[in-house]
Structure 1
Amino acid sequence: MKSSLRTRLRAGDPEAFRELFQDMAQAVHALALRATGDRTTAEDVVSLTFLEVWRLRERLDAGDDSVRPWVYGVATNVLRNRARAARRHQRALARMPRPEDVPDFAGEVDGRIDDTARLTAARKALDRLRRGEREVFLLCVWSDLSYAAAAQALDVPVGTVRSRLSRARARLRRLADEELEGAQQKTEPGPSHRQIPGDRDHAVGSTQESAR
């Protein structure tokens, strides 16, 4: 009888690890990309996740259950640690002198905001969710895990997953609308300095009178 992937992975079988990586690397990358909005960071998360998977393989319980929820749990922990490191970095930057202001060129990208702005607004709104709500949304909605699998990944009851997801969906709609509205306001052109009809004629006339 062929041993399960879980059993082989627990035993340190490199072929089992290779199979798991081929099966889940793309899914972990998609999760990380949606959580961070940055491809390079997402690639780093994939690398760190599977390093942790190999390091922690003996913690897997024996059995024939799917390993996927456990891997998603490891990836979620990696994302948590990355977020904490990013916050420490931001606090350090906040203590440094402010750089000179950079001119705002938002007006030059008018007309290209629609899809990009919606995606950016969704990610920013996701960042504003509580951590538990954000993690459940990423796993259940964007990674398509069942409630039970997400509960296993996060080590929380299924009821907690359901309630967090319900709150996340409600808050995300409102927050995304707020972010999108703010982005649109930033790209709206300021008041134009149009010439009032008759001004030019008046100015020309005044110049001619003065020249006489």
Structure 2
Amino acid sequence: MNVTDTGPPRTQRFAQLYEQTYAALLRFVERRVPPSHAEDVVADVFLVAWRRLDDVPPAADEARAWLFGVAHRTLRNGLRADQRRQALTIRIADDRLTGAAAAGLDPESVARRLDLVQAWRRLSPRHQETLALAVWDGLTAPQAARVLGISPVAFRLRLTRARRALRLHADAAPATTTQPVATATTNSRSAR
């Protein structure tokens, strides 16, 4: 490495990248790991960005998507990353529901949210990740595809399947809660 590689332009570019993307990247990671680990993961991502600064796209949205991709691969390397992300997602959803009920929201609205939380829990980690990239992170299909290392067409297909799975699980939620009662009644009748 020569002196010009670490000079002010490189440092300024990295500082600008950091300022533009840190908060979004931290939110991205916090949904996937416990808050106590999120800053360590973000630090690892920015270390990669510093080392590969020439590979970071110049446009802010593209740079953010590139960093999300690095974060995704960093998290994927940990065997327990999926379990941590799912636990955090469920905890956030439950906290929102508890807060909504305490605020005196319509019981129907709270029930729909509970059904949505149950449906989310039944989704595969792959479907959860796909929906999170599109909805929570606000990435376009090409950006989200880059994060996952797939084509935009493949991402759109995954998104369609994830939405369909979420709808099916949400529609099935009330039937699932009443099913055991009906089964118990049927079993008690046959025992007579």
Task: Give the TM bin, normalised by the shorter chain.
Answer: 0.5 to 0.7
CA drift of 1:79 comes to: 1.9
Q: RCO greater where, 1 or 2, for CA within 8 Å and sep 6 or more?
A: 1
Alpha-carbon distance change, 71 to 179 in structure 1, aligned in 2, over 3 angstroms: farther
1:29-178 to structure 2, matched below 5 A, reads 29-36=26-33, 38-58=34-54, 60=55, 66-82=62-78, 84-86=79-81, 112=98, 122=117, 125=120, 128-131=123-126, 133-175=127-169
**Gaps in structure 1 of 5+ consecutive residues:** 1-7, 89-110, 183-212
Give the greater-gyration-radius structure (CA).
1
Q: TM-score, normalised by structure 2?
A: 0.58
Alpha-carbon distance change, 160 to 181 in structure 1, aligned in 2, over 3 angstroms: same
CA drift of 1:34 comes to: 2.2
CA drift of 1:171 comes to: 2.1
Alignment RMSD, CA only?
4.1
1:4-27, Cα deviation, whole Å (9 max, x unpaired): xxxx99x98121111111111111
State the secondary structure of the residue aligned to 2:31.
helix
Alpha-carbon distance change, 54 to 169 in structure 1, aligned in 2, over 3 angstroms: same
Tell me, yes or no, if the aligned pair for 1:12 and 1:57 is still in contact at 8 Å.
no
Q: Structure 2: how far apart are the matches of 1:123 and 1:33?
A: 21
Aligned pairs, how many?
A: 149
What code does the residue aligned with 2:128 have?
R
Q: Structure 2: how far apart are the matches of 1:145 and 1:180?
A: 32
Counting aligned pairs with the same residue, the percent is 29
Q: Structure 1: how far apart are the matches of 2:99 and 2:58?
A: 50
1:102-153, Cα deviation, whole Å (9 max, x unpaired): xxxxxxxxx948669959x74993684243x333222221110111222233
Match of 1:206 in 2: none
Match of 1:4 in 2: none
Q: Structure 1: how far apart are the matches of 2:38 and 2:175?
A: 28
**Gaps in structure 2 of 5+ consecutive residues:** 84-96, 103-109, 177-192
What code does the residue aligned with 1:125 have?
W
